[in-house]
Structures are given as structure tokens and as C-alpha cells.
Chains A and B, each alone.
Chain A
């Protein structure tokens, strides 16, 4: 991870809702369409990319979320070493995919901020600023959606019941976090 200051300065603890930035989390965008691309990813990471829209798949170390028919984000389940920009997974995929022209691997570790939300009021908070219908989504473990929250593009990953990961671009993260803090205080 690059030497950024913490994007979000504090953890927010409200009744029934807890929000905090989790860092550093390795994040990669992988793109590809060929059949060889999918098998190379499967062999390299020992996990399959989710083929179904709005879903995710998980291994011990990594989670892959569906973003579009030929685009996925892979992120580490646990924070990684802060002092380095070298990611073993990226190196592995670069060798097995990029260099063989099967697809593209982009490191977006520092582009996206991951905010972890816990509590029973997560979706009430999202509903106050997003056009997406969360009724079915909130009961599907592993569901993923790219949508808008407070006019900001976000990726939401429903990790478990009442635990959600939210990805937002770094430049918007501070504003979004303060919006969520404000909105959550009035739930």
C-alpha cells in the first residue's frame, strides 16, 4: 500500500450500526472473456470467478466479486502488509494471465477504500440514499451490487448477515463517510 494518510479518520459507533475503514486490503480488477482466462484464474487462485451476475465467490484468502460480464474485483479477506506494494496474487496473475494475453490485471488497492459496516440498520442507511431495491439483496449472503449511494458510485458486498463491505473510490470516501455518519445519526 502506498503511504496514504488514513482516508477515514475515525470509527463510527452508533446504536445498531458500526462503520470503519479496513486497510490495507489488496484489491485487483481482473478482466477477460476467453475460456483459457477462466481456467488460468481457477488454477492460479484455486477459486472460480463468479459467473452469475451480482454474486461473489470466496476462498480462504480471497474474495472475487462480479462487476460486469467480463470484469471482477478480487480482494484479500484479511489486511495485508502495509509496508510493501508487492502482492503475491498480483504477481501470480500477471505471470499467468497478463503475460499470456488472456486478460488484464489492474492493481486498484489504493484506488478503492473498503468500509466495513456491521449492524442491523445497514440497509436502512443504504435505502436512505440509493435507488437500488435492497429487499432481496439483504437476505442473500455473498450478493454484490454496483450502484449509487448519495450520488457516489459504490460496490456493496453482502458478506454475511448484518455485515457488509462497501467499496468507494478514495477521492469520494471522505465525503461518503461523513454523509453516512450524518444519515446514520438520524435513522
Chain B
């Protein structure tokens, strides 16, 4: 269990949040032109990094807003939290 700083509500406990998987995955502009492999790559394949990972989170039991988070998956340290549509503050 850890504390997450919701960009809208402030500090809340992790149990109020839902993880939404990897962030910054761009939907292909012309899905019909993709091969099955490329489409499967977009739909299903996700990085599973040990280290710094960019993720989407949802404050499901609070303001119900989505936001992005940079988290170190090896120790759950949250490096940054930023709103949807914003660029990651760290690379």
C-alpha cells in the first residue's frame, strides 16, 4: 500500500485508485491498413519494465478522473504525477 498524489484531490491511499496500464500508447491512425501482427502489437503487447514505467491511473473511488504516473516498478516509488494530455515531466 502506498500514498498516491491525485492531481485533483491531493494525497489519497492506493486502494482508492485503479491502475489503467501503460500510458502514451497511440492508436494507429489507419487501423485498416495494419497487418494482424501490427494490430496485435498495438492491442496486446505491453512493456513490463523493472524500473521507471509510465502508467495511467484512475481515481476510481474519488474524483473518477484519469491521470498519468511515472512509477519505479522495482520499489513502487512514484517519481511524478501529471494530468492527461500533459507531457511527462521526466524522460
Q: Between A and B, how many residue pairs show CB distances below 8 Å?
A: 38
* Contact pattern, A 64-75, Cβ under 8 Å of B = 1, otherwise 0: 000111010000
Q: Which of A78-86, A98-106, A146-154, A175-183 forms contacts with chain B?
A: A146-154
CB contacts under 8 Å to A, within B55-84, are 61-65
The secondary-structure label for the interface of chain A is strand
Residue A172 at the B interface, CB < 8 A? no
Knowing A147-B61, A153-B61 are in contact, say whether A68-B8 is a contact too (CB < 8 A).
Answer: yes
Q: Please tell me if the beta carbons of B11 and A133 are within 8 angstroms of each other in the complex.
A: yes
Q: Please tell me if the beta carbons of B15 and A53 are within 8 angstroms of each other in the complex.
A: no
Q: Please tell me if the beta carbons of B15 and A146 are within 8 angstroms of each other in the complex.
A: no
Residue A131 at the B interface, CB < 8 A? yes
Select one of A54, A71, A148 contacting B9, CB under 8 A.
A54
Residues on A lying within 8 angstroms of B by beta carbon are 53-54, 67-69, 71, 131-133, 145-148, 153
